[in-house]
Structures are given as C-alpha cells and as structure tokens.
Structure 1
C-alpha cells in the first residue's frame, strides 16, 4: 500500500462538482464559422442557484478559452472564447460563484493546441530558429518540410514540446493567470499523454503562488498512484471505477465492482481520486443503465471514497450516446435552457435522488476518504461497508440487481438512511 504523497487542499474534503461543458450548455456554435462575440457564459449564472440546491459545492467547467471548434483545439488560452463572451462576462461569473460559495475548476488543455493557433503558424513560418519554435513538437527534418506532431492522430491538434522550457513556462503562465482571476484549480486535460516530469516542473511553480489550488489530472488508464506521486497533481480521474460501476450493473456481475473497489482502496491510501459516473466524453449513465440503474450507480458513487463530480443533465435523467464520428459528442454535450424553470418536470424522481444522496454525502464528509469492505457478494447482490479513515463511522450499502436495480443505505445503528424509489 502506497503512502499518501500529496498535500491536497482542505477545502476539497467537502467538494462535490457539477461538471458542465459550457460551449454545449450555452448553445454556442461548435463546427460552423460563426465566431460572433455573444455573452453566452452569463447563462450559467442563471444556473448557479440550481447547482447550490442540487448540493454541489463547485463547478467543473469544460474549455472556455478561444478555440477553433470544440474547445480542446485552443487558439488563445489567455482569452475567453468569443462565443461565450469576454473577460467582463467571466468576471461576472466568478463574482456570482463567490457570492454563493461555489468553487471553480477550469479545463486546461496543455497537451496540445489547435493547428491554427497563431503561434503554431508563426513557428512553421519562422523555422527552427524562430521565437516560437521551441513551444511545439515539430519535426523540422520531415521529407517535404516541417511537420507538427499531433495528438492521438488528430490533425487539428498540435502537440506542445513538453521537453522544452518554453512549453513549461507557457503552461505555468496560463495556469497562474486564471488562478489570479479567481478560480480554484485546474482539470489538466489528457494529462496521461504528457510526461510526469513536465508536470513536476510546472506544478511547483503554480503552488508557490497558489498553494490552495486543486489540480486534477485526466487519466484513463495506467498507474494512477505513480502518476500522482511523480507529477505532483492532487488527484486523477478514476476511469477504472466509472467502468466498473456501469458495466457491473449492466452485466449483472457485481464481482467486477468488488474487484475494482479493492484497487480503489489502494488508491485512497495515496491520493483522493475524482470519481464520476458521467462526463463530456462518455455515454450518459441513463442510456447505459436506464433510469433505475442510473440512480443505483449514483448511490454507489456517493458512498465511496473520492471527490465526486456530477455531469450536468445526469441529475435530470438525460440520455445520450457517445459515438466515434464527427459530431459524436453532441448528444452528451447538449444545450440547456436559459433558466432552470424551463426544465421538464418529468425527471423529479431522479433529481430528488441526486439531492438526497448528495445531502447524505455532505452530512458525512468522512466518506471522501472512506474505504470499503465486502460483507456479502454474488452476481446480483453486493453488500459493502464504507468506513471512515479513523473508523469513527460507517455506512452499509446493499446493491440488489435480482429484479429492478436498487440500493439501500443503513447507518451504524442499522437504521435505513436512504432507500431507492422506482423512477
């Protein structure tokens, strides 16, 4: 078992994120040429009270910086995307969050930039001795002329040169710029694709000025604990747990979940993972499992150790299938109305389940670092105990897949504190 290596900010003990993809949420055009400045980011201000009533303590935002299309192909990470608004709109959003005690996490894309980024074009024009040459990973000796190396085969995404001081300085400057503007931390997109040595150069410079910033690295697979220890991030995305929750419920094979929770306990010994059952890159949990299964998955998520995030719309039972094609993310990144009052009233059972389970979580903050113990296990029944790190409290969770998926949670006295209702 690995010893804890990070000094995670204390405020994250109570963190529950509402994860929003702003370009989709605010109805910005994604793939057309309309870059007319519109203050769409202010629409999110209309939803902050909704996030508070849901039980969230902060917003985890997808990309909000000037980009070519979907936000992960940035053109200027020092500027708000004109499709979302301006610096003034961002400042208004930050002020509104602070009024409500909501933290803000921004999505930092430091693996790559858009192929049309002005500095990429300048580097290619000026050659290997140019001012911006060291910032990007360019094969200057390629047959036929210089060729930028791209991210995971996407020709529109040019890699930074993570071996260079220039890339480390650029990343540090962007992170510190927005921390100075009032945010509380960063989600580091595709952190797994960048060497831990790069992050280990950048993060101490960020922490020197902003020691309370929370830094979350996106990890899909690999050695999570080693990545945290070597990079200096506070946490990584727990994709192993995400997969185990939905697939064990879908396949009626709770042995998979139990096996993954054993690994999850080991992770908790060295860091506190970001846990989730939905995000901007995966099929909606209600599409994978149906509404009853989605609530059962939520009950599991919120009774396990970790810092959880709820993907916008999951609390309304939204559906959407992730597809591997152009526009294949659109279904899971939908536009929301101007105000919560325009939502359908048909999803109240799922919404209420989210409120109740988040409320249970917030009344028991020890769950953030709780570990689990198996009490009973077969394919369709799993009874586990989540216990505080100091053993001062516990909850028992009974997952039943024999008919309709359901969950029941009892406290240390044996009293039922939450029982799933049919949706």
Structure 2
C-alpha cells in the first residue's frame, strides 16, 4: 500500500539553489533536473517516495502560487517535470506534490475573478484566501489535482489543510477519488483533532506535529514523560488513520541543530520504529544544520541547496547516513510497523522503553540520554539495532 512509502521530502526551490526573493538576475532554468543525481541516492538510502515542496509558478517562496498548471520558471518547464516523474517511475519512486489550495498570491488571476481575496491568510497581505464555499473553487482545485494525477504523480500534500473547511476537502477528494481511488492525500495539520480533521476531510494521513514536538523536546529537556504523553495520543490516532511522522521539514529547525548530532540518532530511531508513515527532510540524514530566524529570510537556513551530486557531500555526515540506512533497513524488514500498536513499558526523565507490536510480532525500543545518548532496538532477545555515542 502507498501508506507504506518512506518519503524523502525536498523543498525544490531551496535544494536546487533557485533565487527565492530576487528573481531579476536568474529567473529561469531547468533546475528540476538537478534532482536527477539524487534519485539513486534516495533509493540507496532506503526511500521509495519523493515528496516535493511547491513546483508551480509563484511570486517567491512557492507558497504564493500564480498558476497551478505551470511549472515555476526557476525550476524549469513542463518537459522537465515530465522527465522527473519518468525518472522516478523507472526507479519505483512515487511522487507527491505540494498543493497550496488554501490561498494564492494576491496577483493570482483568481483574485480578479472573485474566487479569492476577501481576506488575507494569517495576516500575510501578499496572500489571498480562496473562497472555499464557491463551487468554481471546488471545480478548479479538483481539476488541478486530477491534471497532475493524470500526469503520473501518486498523491498530494495539502498545505495548511487545517485552515480549509472539512466539507470542501470531503467534496473535492470524493470527486478526485472517483478517478484515482488509490491517490494518497496527506493533509498538513499542526494542531487540533488530527484524526477528526482527516476523517471529516476524507484524507488518508496528516502531519503528526505533536509527535515531532515531543521527540525533540524530550531529547532537549531530558523529559521522556513528554514523549510518553504524546505516544498515548499517537496511539489513539493510529486507530483511525496512518499519520505522517517526521523529525524535520521545510518549516522547522533542523533536528541536528535542535537536539545535537548524537541525539539526532535517537530521534531517527524513534521515527523508523514507531507506527506511521515516515518522511525524511532532505539533508537530515547527513546531519545538515540550520535554525530558523525572523523576517523574510526566516526559512533560508533550513531550505539549503544541495550540492550538484551526492559525491560532493561533505564526508562529515557519512556516519549519520549509515545509521539512517540501517534504521530504514530495519523498517523495511518489518513493514507491519506502519500500522502497529504501541505501549510505553518504562520511563524516567532520561530513559524510555517503548513496545511496538501487533498480534504476532513486537519490537522493543530502549532509548537513554545518560550517561551518554544511546538507543537499542530488540525483539525476542535479539538486538536488531544499537547505537551509543562514544
């Protein structure tokens, strides 16, 4: 099933070195093809899905869309995305696109047509909220989603899905699934009733921000009681949906900067052994660092450019890449983990033991922060993975 996919999440404008704000000097190119050398890397890492951030024509950062049918000129052309999808398909890589259907750029034609513009989105004057109760908007979003599914993508990430009325998603996704019943729909949800939002909107999955927060915060504060609480909520969610688990994305601080390189291994171990559909933000597997700042350049540090090919990566991240490979390999050998149950067996501030299980199998994850950070995954007395900071 597509929910068993392990995604490599890329922010294309940043990863390919495109100009995000000042487009005057370098406004065109075929940068999507820069991702070509990274497709074999993705497979060798153990992933089988490419989750792309915005690729459609936009004003600046990609979430200020101007045309959902046209590839951003900084990234290339229609032929470039056709090439990328074909290259992914030849390697068994599924492609998911980022659909920004809550708002559009203030200069989007939809504003002049009365489909958007009555309110700014979250105070951003350059963004106009779409009128989701307008049948024309529902038809437009349905057509956009179908257009790219017909081109060969496997699913959609719905940006700020939590801000759009659930009846809009339920209506649009019912129409989309009439032609593509197996399309994966991942909604971005930051707070609220995760499973309720997914169910009401007929989404397959939502971003599990609660678990992301608990993982890094527990590691920073030496407080696994917080993780225990979040895992209880995660368990309840698993009864209804398969949430998207992650420890990094384009909107948050790099995990290695947040918790340190050593504890980042523990975070990765939890990501790949806990139930859910994991995604890896590009570079986290190499220990990329970056902290968000303020203002227009707030996200630049976490949306960095990739080198021309994996051969040009710094050797400093190789050790962490090896740990990711081992953990993803463990996940691949135990596909039942995606829909498993869980319980916390023991916990202190600095240690936790989590049992992940179904009716026939189980894994135990032992994580500790002292005297040195470490993690062990075992089953039936056999150690399946172990790492400790030296």
Q: State the TM-score, normalizing by the size of structure 2.
A: 0.98
Alignment of 1:306-385 (within 5 A): 306-385=276-355
The residue matched to 1:302 in structure 2 has which SS? helix
**Match in the other structure for 1:403:** 371
- Work out whether residues 224 and 236 of structure 1, in 8 Å CA contact, stay in contact via their aligned partners in 2: yes
Offset from partner CA, 1:364-406 (integer Å, 9 cap, x none): 0000011211221111110111102xx2111100011122221
Q: Which residue of 2 aligns with 1:27?
A: 17
Partner of 1:254: 224
Kept after mapping to 1: 8 A contact 2:373/2:389 = no
Mapping of residues 148-227 of structure 1, within 5 Å: 149-227=119-197
1:415 is aligned to 2:385: no
- Partner-residue secondary structure (3-state), 2:297: coil
Given that 1:255 and 1:377 are in contact with CA atoms closer than 8 Å, whether structure 2 keeps it comes out as yes
**Aligned position for 1:55:** 46
> What are the ranges of 5 or more consecutive residues in structure 1 without an aligned counterpart?
1-9, 124-131, 139-148
The residue number in structure 2 matching 1:83 is 74
TM superposition shift of 1:346: 1.3
Q: What is the match of residue 268 of structure 2? A: 298
Once residues 326 and 404 of structure 1 are traced to their aligned partners in structure 2, the CA distance between those partners, rounded to angstroms, is 39
Identify the residue that residue 56 of structure 2 maps to in structure 1: 65
Contact 2:352-2:368 at 8 Å conserved across structures: yes
Aligned to 1:47, what secondary structure does the other structure show? helix
In 1, the alpha carbon distance for the partners of 2:163 and 2:122 equals 9
> C-alpha distance in 1, partners of 2:28/2:147?
22
Partners of 1:400 and 1:36 in 2: CA distance: 49
Give structure 2 stretches of 5+ with no counterpart.
Answer: none
Partner Cα separation in structure 2 for residue 325 and residue 220 of structure 1? 21
- Structure 1 distance, partners of 2:86, 2:186, is 23
Distance in 2, matches of 1:218 and 1:401, equals 31
Per the alignment, residue 141 of structure 1 pairs with none
Structure 2 counterpart of 1:265, from 235, 238, 247: 235
| C-alpha distance in structure 2 between counterparts of 1:228 and 1:314, whole Å | 27
How many Å apart are 1:268 and its aligned residue? 0.3
Structure 1 match to 2:360:
392
Is the contact between residue 107 and residue 188 of structure 1 (CA under 8 Å) also seen in structure 2?
A: yes
Secondary structure at the aligned position of 1:247 is classed as helix
Return the offset for 1:262: 0.7
Following superposition, the deviation at residue 137 of structure 1 comes to: 4.1
SS state of the match for residue 395, structure 1?
Answer: strand
Structure 2 counterpart of 1:37, from 28, 38, 54: 28
The alignment partner of 1:326 has SS state of helix
Aligned residues: 389
What's the CA shift for 1:23?
0.3
2: distance between equivalents of 1:48 and 1:252? 37
Aligned to 2:96: 105
In structure 2, relative to structure 1, the CA distance for the partners of 1:352 and 1:421 (3 Å cut) is farther
**Is this contact kept in 2: 1:292–1:404, CA < 8 A?**
no
Partner of 1:92: 83
* Partner residue in 2 for 1:127: none
Q: State the Cα deviation string for residues 337-380 of structure 1 (Å, max 9, x = none).
A: 11110101111110000000011001100000112112211111
How far apart are residue 421 of structure 1 and its match?
4.1
**Does the CA contact (< 8 Å) of 2:36 and 2:84 recur in 1?**
yes
